[in-house]
Amino acid sequence: MSLHAAQVADALLSNIDRVVRGKRDEIRLALCCLLTEGHLLLDDVPGTGKTSLAKAIANSIAGSWKRVQFTPDLLPSDITGVMVFDQRTSTFAFREGPVFTNVLIGDEINRGSPKTQSALLEVMEERQVTADGVSRPVPRPFFVIATQNPRDFQGTFPLPDVQLDRFAMRLTLGYADADTEVSILNDFHRHIADDDISPVTDPEELDRAINEIDAVSVLRPIDEYIVAIANSTRNHPDLRLGVSTRGTLTVLRVARAFAATDDRNYVTPDDIKAVAAPVFTHRMALTAEAELRGVRVEGVLADIIDDVPVPRFRES
């Protein structure tokens, strides 16, 4: 069976790969996040293509997108909007902020103050903004793609656990391999622009693909497998914080999208393994003792996945 979601994902992947080269696996994961209407956190050092990927995703959709450069003096109303007084009518009217869009790119989100970061909590979870006691829905589908540099702590405000949990996925792009970087240097000239790509889908078509994801079949042993992994993170001695229920729901939806992009209408344990790290690791936090020993969250999760029995069943 040919899934509409697979066709949309293939078109987006080919389009974005023209800008962000040599990162097809990471782009596919980012698109799986997109196909669940989840929010994406791109966490990497400068110059690896975080903003280029975010802009390429936004430009590939024929909807609206806006970009916010987070700074310490940015106010919550600069993102969500503000009530302004209209002298002609002697009334207050709501002026929409950049959050009223299909794709919101938050560049260097950890440079915004905690008060400004928290302005995104409601809209990321409920797809609405409340101002002056009135709730206003944002356009659907709605995605936040945020970037941050994990190495630079000067003038930054680390995202709290509650904010991190709102992001469906955290991705690290890493450096391009040598052959890809050589081809980038060969093709470079100063007139190249990241946004010089055409849309290959629109919000209506994307919304249809998102709805199709929910129809991907998941058997009970897969649900039990996800819960077993999550419970192991909650009881692990090296972790002070394990995966939340929001995290298990997210990994289920992302695994469905991962299966759909492979043109399958069912989820396998391998799908769970493929998406577990980008969905789970930013929801896990090490104890102080584990940090002193040099333990990494990625290693803890890999050990847990190795230890949890993989469900065996016949695919039908």
- Residues 150, 231 within the same domain: no
- 265 with 196, same domain: the answer is no
* Structure confidence by residue, pLDDT tens digits, 132-174: 788 899 988 899 999 988 777 677 888 888 888 999 999 988 8
Cα–chain center distance at 268: 22
**Could you tell me the CA-to-CA distances from 98 to 10, 66, 95, 215, 242 in Å, in that order?**
29, 6, 10, 32, 33
The CATH number of the domain where 315 resides is what? 1.10.8.80
**Over the stretch 65-122, which tens digit does the pLDDT of each residue have?**
999 999 999 998 899 988 888 888 888 888 889 999 999 999 999 898 888 888 888 8
Looking at the structure, do residues 196 and 294 belong to the same domain, yes or no?
no
Same domain? For 125 and 249 the reply is no
Answering whether pTM is above 0.85, one says yes
Claim to verify: residue 310 and residue 207 sit in the same structural domain? no
Q: Which CATH number characterizes residue 141's domain?
A: 3.40.50.300
Same domain for 115 and 232: no
What distance in Å separates the CA atoms of residue 303 and residue 305, rounded to the nearest whole number? 5
* Segments forming the whole domain that contains residue 187: 1-211
Kindly state whether residues 153 and 231 are assigned to the same domain. Answer: no
